[in-house]
A and B are shown apart, each in its own frame.
Chain A
Amino acid sequence: MDVKTGYVAGRLAFRGVLCRISGISTAAHCHAVKKHSCETVFKFSQRSLYQTSTPGQHRWFCHNSTPGQHRWFCHTATPSQHRWFCHTSTPGPHVCIVGSGPAGFYTAQHILKNHKTARVDIYEKLPVPFGLVRFGVAPDHPEVKNVINTFTNTASNERCSFLGNVTVGRDVTVAELRQAYDAVIMSYGADADKEFGIPGEDLSGVYSARAFVGWYNGLPQDKHLAPMLDTDTAVVLGQGNVALDVARILLTPLSILKITDITDHAAAALETSQVKTVYIVGRRGPLQTAFTIKELREMTKLPDCRPLLDPADFAGLEDKVKSLQRPRKRLTELLIKTAQTGGATAQEAQRLAQATKEWGLKFLRSPLEILSSEDGSRVSGIRLGVNQLEGSDSSARAVPTGETEVLSCGLVLRSIGYKSEPIDDTVPFDSQKGVIPNEAGRVTGCKGLYCSGWVRRGPTGVILTTMTDGFETGKAVVDDLTTGILQPVGGVRGQEWIQPLLQKKGIQAVTFEDWNKIDSEEMMRGEKVGKPREKILDVKEMLQVAQS
């Protein structure tokens, strides 16, 4: 057997194949199989056995010193659970990524591709990967989730590990990570949301769009949201793509939604929803909307739904349109067209006339107060201040005119953006901008610390913006490693250094193989009910499936 064969077997052990083939269930057996692997695969190996103090936990290391070093270890947490790792401890830098959303995965992808020995460990607080691709992207946009295939390829690289169910800042500190890794990248995104700070924001029936999205997408923390949908009118505050997403989900016929991976509880609640009209309210005008044309076009094509746009809002824009840049120009043209026509063809006109639901855009309105019903039990309306614009085009400012009006509604969704929060005292944070201060992804004044994605740039843009961003941060890390700005340290590093800390705290990190089990289970449950996937909503249940 040569080293190359050992390497291949190592890769497979890393992917969990060895474990499955051996079908072992006791620690003693595990030892025997490991011995077999070592002696057949690593011909000139020295094997040593370590037994950790916690009963039931065992580790085996195997060293092969020629011509590269290979290290294996397996620990069993309970007799039926086995984790296998293979590390080639040829001196390669260890890189840690905090957060497994698109920013984390795209950064990892760039580093693994452009640095031939770096190992990348991706930490995630939930047992499941992919962040907002799983929990943010609307269920009726499955095509956007195709990026998961690329992320899965990245995760299957033998130099990449996923450590789910580990909360950085609680289970392990940033300081510990910086000790264990040569480079640490913050890509934990923006999981808080902005608030208006107006009276009535905490009334029943007022929700953040972030929580509403989390509710229909199966984010464990939002599963109990139970939004009040027993009202005919909903108001979405904000005019970005998330605002259009939540409006669309509220208005889309259930026959379309129930064949997506929308959560079961959301589908059931939407089935009995009384919402017929959704107003999407923005503080500025039609030339300042943040949503993009694809999402707007979807609204215009919603079955059984008609647009309520006031042509007066678009008066005078036709001349201005010609001088706009192409994206804004096409978006504005679509708005004007939607506002003016009652349907381009007779068929379309009939469709709109027969529609039972409607959506509208309200411009130049800022919420001043959310009004309560007489008994105080829930929201009954919203008092809006009328604005006028000061300045030009995209940078125009909304200035109150002093005029107000009341819009009756029974549901309010606040969708004015996400914000990042500081993770730890040791990481600089610009609370004004809500980002980690950085230069091209390098955290200001902290050698070896990087950031990527929303926590670096602020919570705007789509997955593609984050891809570019991730690649840029990845490049900064690779450049610093190759130019010697970062000097990798030898010895026990990376997750081998971190794992004992986690074990001491009784935390079982979820590997990518474990995620594959959760993934298969979810797809199997989905298949039974005619959906691509039925998401598991409970962290405990995710862990049970992972360890099965």
Chain B
Amino acid sequence: MAASVLFPASARLLSGLRHFSRVSRAATTSLCRPQNHSLSTTARHFSQPTPRTEKAKVTVNYVMRDGSTVPVRTKVGENLLDIAIENDLDIDGFGACEGTLACSTCHLIFEQPIYDQLEEPTDEELDMLDLAFGLTDTSRLGCQVCVTKALDGLTVKVPEGVADARDV
């Protein structure tokens, strides 16, 4: 009897640990750069009575491969890869290298006005994007884009394939 009580608990513990290690690894290795201050409206006002956790929530809409839109509420400062993983968005192969700029599987397509607001991508990000399937002029890697208050309500499109184009 004792054993059957133990088992489900340890199953949860095991899967919990696995999840934790994956998320924490992604978080520590993601290269989220400081946000552009001219765009950010999240300047800290400690005197404000509103708790920070409340004001620091934004909505991101993911347009999935099947055309459906999944809105996700998330904290400011998270990157678009981690947000997708933490909210269990079902995107095959998304974030294979876990946000370490070693693949292009978290390729996302932005709307032009939003894309223009983002910081310039680094050479290393462009290097990986070069290999992304269905590359567009407004493509970025999700792991390199952190959401800010100014981006609240943004829509990003998951491209249809994850193949890369090394044979070009």
Contacts and interface: CB of A to CB of B under 8 A. Distances in A.
Instruction: Say whether A and B bind each other.
Output: yes
Interface of A: 1, 5, 8-9, 11-12, 15, 17-18, 21, 36-37, 40-41, 106, 110, 113, 141, 143-144, 146-147, 149-150, 152-153, 156, 292-294, 297, 325-328, 330-331, 394, 460-465, 467-468, 471
Interface in B74-113: 92-93, 96-98, 100-105
B118 interface: no
Interface string B1-34: 1011011101100100010011001000100000
B115 to A, nearest CB: 16
Contacts of B44: none
Given A292-B131, A330-B130, A149 B98 contact: yes
B168 interface: yes
Given A8-B11, A40-B3, A330 B97 contact: no
A293 B164 CA distance: 13
B124 interface: yes
Given A17-B7, A41-B4, A149-B22, A462 B164 contact: yes
Kindly name the residue among B98, B103, B126 whose own CB sees the greatest number of chain A CB atoms within 10 A.
Answer: B103
A294 B4 contact: no
B123 interface: yes
Contact of A327 (B21, B105, B131, B162): B131
Interface in B23-75: 25, 29
B116 interface: no
A18 B103 CA distance: 38
A146 B98 CA distance: 7
A149 B100 CA distance: 14
Contacts of B18: 152-153, 156
A330 B132 CA distance: 14
Nearest to A327: B130
A11 B102 contact: no
11 contacts: A9-B3, A21-B3, A113-B92, A143-B98, A146-B98, A150-B96, A292-B131, A330-B126, A462-B166, A464-B96, A467-B105
B150 interface: no
Contacts of B114: none
B128 interface: yes
A153 B4 CA distance: 24
B120 interface: no
B25 A465 contact: no
B127 interface: yes
B134 to A, nearest CB: 12
Given A37-B3, A292-B130, A464-B131, 11 more contacts: A9-B3, A11-B11, A21-B3, A143-B97, A146-B100, A149-B98, A156-B18, A292-B131, A326-B130, A468-B93, A468-B133
Where chain A touches its partner, the secondary structure class is helix
A545 to B, nearest CB: 21
A463 B93 CA distance: 11
Q: Which 4 A-B pairs have the closest CB atoms?
A: A143-B100, A327-B130, A468-B163, A143-B102
Contact of B124 (A12, A153, A297): A297
A141 B1 CA distance: 47
Nearest to A6: B4
Kindly name the residue among B4, B14, B102, B104 whose own CB sees the greatest number of chain A CB atoms within 10 A.
Answer: B102
A527 B156 CA distance: 41
Given A146-B25, A464-B131, A141 B4 contact: no
Contacts of B130: 292-293, 326-327, 330-331
Contacts of B10: 12, 17
B153 interface: no
Interface in B108-164: 123-124, 126-128, 130-131, 133, 135, 161-164
Contacts of A36: 3
A467 B4 contact: no
Nearest to A469: B163
Contact of A464 (B4, B8, B105): B105
Given A40-B1, A143-B29, A146-B102, A294 B127 contact: yes
Contacts of B168: 325, 327-328, 394
Nearest to A102: B96
Nearest to A325: B168
Nearest to B1: A40
A237 B87 CA distance: 47
Contact of B166 (A17, A146, A152, A292): A292
A180 to B, nearest CB: 29
Kindly name the residue among B101, B133, B168 whose own CB sees the greatest number of chain A CB atoms within 10 A.
Answer: B168
